[in-house]
A and B are shown apart, each in its own frame.
Chain A
Amino acid sequence: MKKKLIIATGAAMMVAAGVMANAQRDAIVAGLAAEAGVSSFSAEAGRALFLSQNTGGKAATPSCTSCHTNNPQAQGRTRVGKVIEPMAVSANPERYTDPEKVAKWFRRNCTSVLGRECTAEEKGNFLAFMMSQ
């Protein structure tokens, strides 16, 4: 009885953590939607951005895929060789739950890859894609 209760409690906590992560992520997406003045984002446009090859940024990082690989569910590697956990929410449920972290990495990586910061719409599309993966 006690064991079952513990298992049930553990499962409930895991579900609760998932719900909380989803709520945090949804809040980030809602903030971007308000900033961009749109009601929804395009996962397809996010996919195109993720796979795009660019020349405006830094030479070593023409694409998101330079480090993240073209499979969002796979681990990537930094240029130094350190493992990067998957970008897809299905493979890494903690992704995109900390607004400061999300802002920091969009700022850095859009600059590295595109040579400019991303618009709110681009960020929203990117998140929509990663949430669909």
Chain B
Amino acid sequence: MKKLMILASAAAMTLASLPTQAASPWVVENTTAQEECSACHMAYAPGFLPKRSWQAIMNNLSDHFGEDASLGETARKEIELYFTAVAPRSVNGVASNATPLRITDLRWFRGEHGSRLRNRAANDPNIGTMSNCTACHRGAERGFFDDD
């Protein structure tokens, strides 16, 4: 009986020490990345762009889509490492020699958001731009986009 209890508790400890699940590419799980990115826009998840794109973005923060988004080196490096660890090597529809920087320029994105939606976004001050995912997709930050 005692042996059984020891065994059971050993099994419980082993289970507790296992990672609960692999990092999701569709939710920003790194606290620093979540905080810093979402200061200006929804923190876009690593899965949207290939590793090399995130690398390019994180190494040019002083001209981040026309704004200075520079960070201290400690935070910058942490965020770069997180994105490059979780992002995929390749993304559907992106040529292996291409390094897209804008999710909104990806072919699937433009296919899903045609001219009608683009016009609506541009004319609605509560949306503003196609980069404002959460204006229409309430669950975007949790990785849910199927609510449109």
Contacts and interface: CB of A to CB of B under 8 A. Distances in A.
B127 interface: yes
Interface string B6-20: 000000000000000
Main secondary structure of the interface of A (DSSP, over half): loop
Given A80-B41, A81-B135, A82-B42, A112 B129 contact: no
Given A80-B129, A80-B132, A81-B132, A58 B66 contact: yes
Chain A, interface size category, equals 10 to 19
B67 A112 contact: yes
Contacts of B40: 78-80, 82
Q: Range of interface residues on chain B?
A: 20 to 34
**B interface secondary structure, majority:** loop
B128 interface: yes
Given A107-B68, A108-B67, A82 B62 contact: no
Interface of A: 58-61, 77-82, 104, 107-109, 111-112
